[in-house]
Structure 1
Amino acid sequence: MTKVTWSDVWIEYSYPIGVASLAVITVCTAEYLRRNVRMSDLEATLTTLNNTINNTITDYTPVFGNLEEKTQLLHGDVIQVLGRSYVLPDDRAIFERDVESFLWFSYRRNFRAIGGTAYTSDRGWGCMLRCIQMLYSHTLIRHNFSRDWRWTKCSTYNSILRDFLDDPNGLYSIQQIAKAGCSAGKDVGTWFGPNTAAQSIRILTEFHKELNLTVQVVMDNFMCIEDIKFYCKEVNWTPLLLVIPLRLGLSECNNLYIENIKHCFEIEQSVGAVGGRPNSAFYFIGCQNDKLLYLDPHVTQESLSPDDIDLENIPDETYHTTKVDLLPWDQLDPSIAVAFYCKTEESFDDLCQQLQETIAAGSGALFEMVATRPSYMTPPRRTPIDKLLENYTAEYDEVNTEDAASDSDGFEIISNS
């Protein structure tokens, strides 16, 4: 008996792929497999089926009451976007110009398969990876330009975007982040939490020393300023991306933290946050009242292959958007990671002072912060990473809605991850 392919199932049953027919496809495919497939071929066939469906069906977002409702920006109330303030309708033009200058990464389909897996789309599992791409690309734009840079094509901007294209050789491509996730303990095709996504970017940055940027991830809600400086100032100051994973409650966010989370977006050094609601990751760039502004990666677009485009003039229209959504505080998953970029030591000192006076102070403190290392703590060491793990193997059946309900999109308890 020859090995079965998805085309065999398609030819025999000839059902159009669409959301309404997924249940029919599942039943028919199961019957076909029962009659025609050797058990040794079953996993490969199901994997191919999973990817075919992900790469073919059109996007469909069902509405489940208030959970899927997207609120609108209010006129007359201040909008905070990473250290900038806007009031609609007067500031609409400059607000939209600011938003569209962020690189927007969303699900893509038909890219080159990730390592030894059959994944050619990240639809359904890669939202957090796309969010960390957005946060890190904005950091690189800040690193090379400034907070006031606005979307303009130039060689430096083009070089930044090229590193994020869906290509196995791209420095921060979906393939590379997924591979780095293996080193952080996550198989390809499984959901990442904020901490794992941040650790993946930290790992990849280790292989790009010429960038002159260090990524530090604060663990266990405890930040030691002396230790951060140890990694950033071997001789001269190395610009810093500081990521602080937080846990704001058990199953839902404690209202005690609202004001301090909002304050994160008022700080000049802020480069946003990654988090979301259960089963959906977002890149947060600001707030209005008690709602968080975010860019949404849950749109599936065709992958842009580096082999088919001019890499010196990348067609980038699908990597920018003026569309932002608002997430009410009570829908926010309690696992979130806030991030800050400090180009100079003076900028880091200023950030630390602001953190000590606000979000790391009082009853609503988001984390503990000390100036010097306590005597009981082990001094930090510089331990370079030699190579990434080559374990691409994924448990393909982990990507399903039943797991999603219990896994909360991989938003882990930070201290245990």
Structure 2
Amino acid sequence: EATAQQPIEQIFGEGIEGFKSDFISKIWMTYRREFPTMSGSTFTTDCGWGCMLRSGQMMLAQALVCHFLGRSWRWSPEKLIQNAREFQEDCLHRMIIKWFGDKSSVNSPLSIHHMVRLGETLGKKPGDWYGPASVAHCLKAVMIAASKENYEFDSLEVYVAQESTIYIQDVYSSCRLPNSSWKSLILLVPVKLGTDKFNPIYGPCLTSLLTLDFCIGIIGGRPKHSLYFVGYQDDRLIHLDPHYCQEMVDVWQPNFSLQTFHCRSPRKMPLSKMDPSCCIGFYLPTQHDFETFVNVITSFLIPQGVSANFEYPIFTLNSGSRSAVMDPPNIRYSIYETEQNWVSPNLHDSDTD
């Protein structure tokens, strides 16, 4: 059983080579140019404003990889397909990427085009800047819409924790089906770890969460500069960076190139530079996995050296239902309150170590 004190090598048993293989296998979403115009706009690129949406796509793609291919699946650019199993894995790999294709198409239900359209319900327009919480709600909305046209998503449920609280009864209500089967859970927890700056007391908690096998990463970054964090080394977070404007790939062509959907070069950012607003993701495929998560996660949420009744854990769990303890939320207002630092991008910002 993992604890908050275990290093990543002990949990995965893979070491640095294993990390490299794991990193390059993650699906990399970046700015794209020359894609079909977004509805209601003249945009043919998301360069300069879509990095948080791309970070959200990466987290969702990682959840889908875990769901359809398994957490231990690995991709290598040099490896040739040699048997039926590897052929099936290649088809699933390509199918996941196609779902995110840069086009308003029923065959790409998780595209940035669909995310922007659904973002209008959160008060967003094409070209607007997104923060971590609004992207979490957008990911939930786009998965609900996708499930209406794609049976592959019927066995998945996205839960977004409101006010950084997971209501356990609500998760049961969402994931448990009438026939007693269970929907695999993508759990998104928007948090704010500080006021104007990241509070360093949460650093060890955050890095410990990244060692957990069921954690699918963190979307956040520096102010107005979103990144997708997948690991850490010492006091630096390892991330995938969406700030590369690549030409759109036509993923509907047979054997389209996979090269621009995988990154070979991990980058690092000092934890101290992280914006306090971020979103932590988890993938929990079974009811047993969710119950294990509930039983073990608390020890990762409270900074070391403080009392067990510390008032400000990273997030909290409540055994009941949200509707039983408070009025329905004004989602647009609560997102605005937590994301004011994300609303005005610096288009010339670049990622430097």
Report the TM-score range of the alignment, normalised by the length of the smaller protein.
Answer: 0.7 to 0.9
Q: What corresponds to 2:22 in structure 1?
A: 98
Q: How do 1:207-226 and structure 2 match up within 5 A? A: 207-209=145-147, 210=151, 211=153, 212-226=155-169
Query: In 1, distance between residues paired with 2:49 and 2:9?
Result: 27
Q: 1:108 to 1:81 in 2, by over 3 A?
A: farther
SS at match of 2:23: helix
3-state DSSP class of the match of 2:186? strand
Q: TM-score, normalised by structure 1?
A: 0.68
Pairing 1:297–2:242 present: yes
**Separation of aligned partners in 1, 2:191 and 2:10:** 18
Matched, 1:272 2:212: no
Contact 1:167-1:305 within 8 A present in 2 as well? no
Distance 1:104 1:289 in 2: 24
Cα separation, 1, equivalents of 2:8 and 2:131: 25
Matched to 2:40, the amino acid is: G
Give the CA deviation at 1:372. 2.7
SS at match of 2:94: helix
Residue equivalent to 2:338: none
Query: Deviations along 1:202-221, whole A, 9 cap, x unmatched?
Result: 01111233211000000112
**Contact 2:216 2:281 survives alignment (8 Å):** yes
| Amino acid in structure 2 at the alignment position of 1:140 | L
Alpha-carbon distance in structure 2 between the residues aligned to 1:183 and 1:331: 31
Tell me what 2:317 maps to.
369
Contact 1:105 1:134 in 2 (8 A): yes
1:129-140, aligned counterparts within 5 Å? 129-140=53-64
CA distance in 2, matches of 1:377, 1:402: 31
Of residues 208, 228, 240, the one that matches 2:185 is: 240
Q: For residues 374 and 116 of structure 1, do their structure 2 counterparts lie closer, same or farther at Cα, with a shift above 3 Å needed? A: closer
Take 2:262 and 2:10, find their aligned partners in 1: how far apart are those partners? 17
Q: Which residue of 2 aligns with 1:286?
A: 231
**1:327 paired residue among 260, 269, 282:** 269
Amino acid paired to 1:130: R
Specify the SS of the correspondent of 2:145. Answer: coil
User: SS at the partner of 2:102?
Assistant: coil
1:156 is matched with which residue? 92
1:79–1:86 CA contact under 8 A, matched in 2: no
Q: In structure 2, do the counterparts of structure 1 residues 113 and 231 end up closer, same or farther at CA, with 3 Å as the change threshold?
A: same
2:136 match: secondary structure? helix
Q: Quick one: distance in 1 between partners of 2:240 and 2:323?
A: 42
**CA distance, structure 1, for counterparts of residue 345 and residue 9 of structure 2:** 30
The 1:226–1:402 alpha-carbon spacing in structure 2 relative to 1, beyond 3 Å, is closer
Question: 1:277–1:332: 8 Å Cα contact kept in structure 2?
Answer: yes
The alignment status of 1:404 with 2:345, answered yes or no, reads yes
SS for the counterpart of 2:279 is strand
Q: Within 1, Cα distance between the matches of 2:242 and 2:53? A: 9
Task: Say which is worse superposed, 314-323 or 365-374, in terms of deviation.
Answer: 365-374
Q: In terms of mean alpha carbon deviation, does 141-150 or 204-213 score higher?
A: 204-213
Q: How many residues align?
A: 302
Describe how 1:336-347 pairs up with structure 2 within 5 A: 336-347=278-289
Q: Please say if residues 249 and 256 of structure 2, whose CA atoms lie closer than 8 Å, have aligned partners that are also in contact.
A: no
Q: Does 1:179 align with 2:117?
A: yes
Is the alpha carbon distance of 1:223 and 1:318 closer, same or farther for their aligned partners in structure 2, counting shifts above 3 Å? same
Extract unaligned runs of 5+ from structure 2. 1-5, 77-88, 303-307, 329-341
Report the TM-score, using the length of structure 2 for normalisation.
Answer: 0.79
The residue type paired with residue 212 of structure 2 is I
* Distance in structure 2 (CA, Å) of the matches to 1:275 and 1:102: 17
SS at match of 2:282: strand
- Name stretches of at least 5 consecutive residues in structure 1 with no aligned partner: 1-77, 381-400, 409-417
Q: Does the aligned pair in 2 maintain the 1:194–1:245 contact within 8 Å?
A: yes
| Partner SS state of residue 275, structure 1 | strand
Which of 192, 202, 205 does residue 257 from structure 1 map onto? Answer: 202
1:83 Cα deviation from its structure 2 partner: 5.7
Greater Rg over alpha carbons, structure: 1
Q: Which one of the candidate residues 321, 335, 357 is aligned to 2:299? A: 357
Q: Please state whether the residue corresponding to 2:230 is helix, strand or coil.
A: strand
Partner of 2:141: 203
Q: State whether residues 170 and 322 of structure 2, in contact with CA within 8 Å, keep that contact through their aligned partners in structure 1.
A: no
- What residue identity is the alignment partner of 2:194? G
Which residue is equivalent to 2:333? none
Partners of 1:374 and 1:174 in 2: how far apart?
A: 30
